[in-house]
Amino acid sequence: MNTEAYIASGILESYVLGIATEEEVLVVEKLAQEHPEIQQEIVLIQEALEAYALTHETEVPTELKSKVMAAIAREASDNHEEKIEEEAFVKPLYPPKKPAGMSLWAIAASALLVLSLAGNWLLFGRWKNTEEQVAVLESKNLQVAQQNQVLKASYQQEVGILQSGLFQAVALKGQPIAPEAKVMVYWNKQNSEVYVASLQLPTVPAGKQYQLWAIVDGKPVDAGMIENDTLLLKMKSFPKASAFAVSLETKGGSTTEAGPKGDIFVMGAV
């Protein structure tokens, strides 16, 4: 048994304060017999609570004291016979001791103090958890706002390219390995500029990267690596091409001499 974990659980404090359940009391008393360190901890808790209670003992208002004592008397009268039976069969092995001069109010003050500290700690923990959740949400909202701004700028650039009338739009359609994949290529035949946008490609596996290819004179030519899947990206320029394609390559890509080594995901003729 891990006695340190059991001592740290708080059950011994409940036992000393008299607020533990009957099952917990039986377990504590059994373990106290088997483990001297648990018995010693019980004594230390008793002494600590007694010292605090004696130090902070205050006079209870007369009116409140009268009401409490009256309630205690009624309770004692109602349960007198039941208590006699219980005491005949069950007696705590290590009942919380009360030193001479320590009043019932001091013990009650100690119990209330412990319960108050426990309640405050619980509320503090909940507050900290809520504060952290709010911070996470604010961070996520900021990230979403920034992403939206980037996407908006990208779309504005894409619309500007289309409205300029200088670019030819080439739709690259999904191949058997990824039928739903799509990519748009914008090619300016006057200045040879090439852009890719509106990428809808499967998530890139670790260590892999998409690569654009221009089909020139029937051969694939490296047109550049695709660094992300959200922005309008400028690729290598080509004065002529009959088609474009995108393959999935080892990170860093392949060369024109070697050609595509990975699968072709999208392709489209000019």
Size (the chain), residues: 270
pLDDT for the residue numbered 75: 56
pLDDT for the residue numbered 251: 93
pLDDT for the residue numbered 197: 84
| Residue 13 to residue 33: CA distance in whole angstroms | 17
pLDDT for the residue numbered 255: 95
Let me know: does 235 contact 196? Beta carbons within 8 Å: yes
Q: Which residues of the chain have pLDDT under 50?
A: 60, 88-91, 94, 98-102
| Residue 191 to residue 193: CA distance in whole angstroms | 6
In angstroms and rounded to an integer, the radius of gyration of the C-alpha atoms of the chain is 39
Per residue in 170-218, pLDDT (tens digit) is 999 999 999 999 999 989 888 899 999 878 899 999 999 999 999 999 9
pTM of the predicted structure, to 2 decimals: 0.44
Q: Which of 219, 210, 265 is nearest to 243 (CA)?
A: 219
pLDDT for the residue numbered 101: 46
Q: What angle do CA 239, 240, 243 make, to 5 degrees?
A: 135
Instruction: Sheet containing 194-200: give its strands across.
Output: 219-225, 208-216, 243-250, 264-269, 167-174, 182-188, 194-200, 233-234
Q: Which of 212, 215, 217, 196 is nearest to 262 (CA)?
A: 212
